[in-house]
Chain A
Amino acid sequence: MTPAFALPARAWAMLALTEARMVVRDTAGLVVPLGLPVLIMVMNGIGADGAGRAEFRGLPALDAYVVPLTIVMVVALIGVVNMPSFLASYRKAGVLRRLSVTPAHPASVLVAQVAVSLAQTLLGVALALLVARSAFGVAMPRDPFTAAGAFLLAAAAMYAVGMVVAALAPTPNAAVAIGLVLFFATMAAGGGFGGRGQLPGWLDALGGHLPYGAGLDALSDAWTGAAPDPAQLGALAGTTVLAAAVAAKTFRWS
Chain B
Amino acid sequence: MAVVEVDGLRKRYGDTVAVDGVSFAVEEGEIFGILGPNGAGKTTIVECVEGVRRPDAGRIRVLGLDPSRDRAKLRRVLGAQLQSGMLPEKLRVGEALALYRSFYREGADPERLLADLGLAGKRGTAFEDLSGGQAQRLAIALALVGRPRVAVLDELTTGLDPQARRGTWDLIEQVRDTGVTVLLVTHLMEEAERLCDRVVIVDRGRPAALGTPGGLIAALDAPRRVRFRTEEPFDRAVLAGLEEVTEVRTRRSETVVTGTGDLLRAVGTALLRHGVVATETRLERATLEDAFLALTGRPYQDGEAA
Residues in chain A within 8 A of chain B (CB atoms): 3, 6-8, 10-11, 13-15, 18, 21-22, 25-26, 89-90, 93-95, 97-98, 100-104
Contact = CB atoms under 8 A, between A and B. Distances in A.
B88 interface: yes
B103 interface: yes
Contacts of B233: none
B103 A93 contact: no
A98 B85 contact: yes
A101 B105 contact: no
B103 A102 contact: yes
5 contacts: A3-B71, A7-B103, A21-B95, A98-B82, A101-B51
A181 to B, nearest CB: 25
Interface stretch (B72-80, B222-230, B294-302): B72-80
Nearest to B70: A3
B98 A14 contact: yes
Contacts of A7: 103
A11 B103 contact: yes
A22 B98 CA distance: 15
A93 B88 contact: yes
A25 B89 CA distance: 10
A10 B146 CA distance: 14
B99 interface: yes
Contacts of A94: 82, 84-86
Interface in B248-294: none
Nearest to B86: A98
Contacts of A93: 85-89
Contact of A14 (B72, B84, B102, B142): B102
B169 interface: no
A97 B50 CA distance: 12
Q: What range describes how many residues of B lie at the interface? A: 20 to 34
B90 interface: yes
B143 to A, nearest CB: 9
Top 5 A-B pairs, shortest CB-CB distance: A94-B85, A3-B72, A101-B80, A14-B102, A98-B86
A11 B80 CA distance: 18
A113 to B, nearest CB: 10
Contact of B99 (A18, A97, A100): A18
B75 A22 contact: no
Interface string B214-254: 00000000000000000000000000000000000000000
A203 B72 CA distance: 50
B86 A95 contact: yes
Contacts of A10: 102
Contacts of A14: 98-99, 102
Given A3-B71, A3-B72, A97-B82, A104 B103 contact: yes
A22 B50 CA distance: 28
B72 to A, nearest CB: 3
Contact of A95 (B80, B87, B102, B105): B87
B185 to A, nearest CB: 14
A8 B76 CA distance: 13
B255 to A, nearest CB: 50
Contact of A18 (B51, B80, B95): B95
Residue of B71, B72, B80, B99 with most chain A CB atoms under a 10 A cut-off: B99
A110 to B, nearest CB: 14
Contacts of B103: 7-8, 11, 102-104
B108 interface: no
A101 B53 CA distance: 11
Contacts of B146: 102-103
B91 interface: yes
B85 A97 contact: yes
A115 to B, nearest CB: 15
Contact of A101 (B50, B87, B98): B50
A103 B99 contact: no
Nearest to A94: B85
A103 B70 CA distance: 12
A7 B99 CA distance: 12
Contacts of A104: 103
Nearest to A90: B88
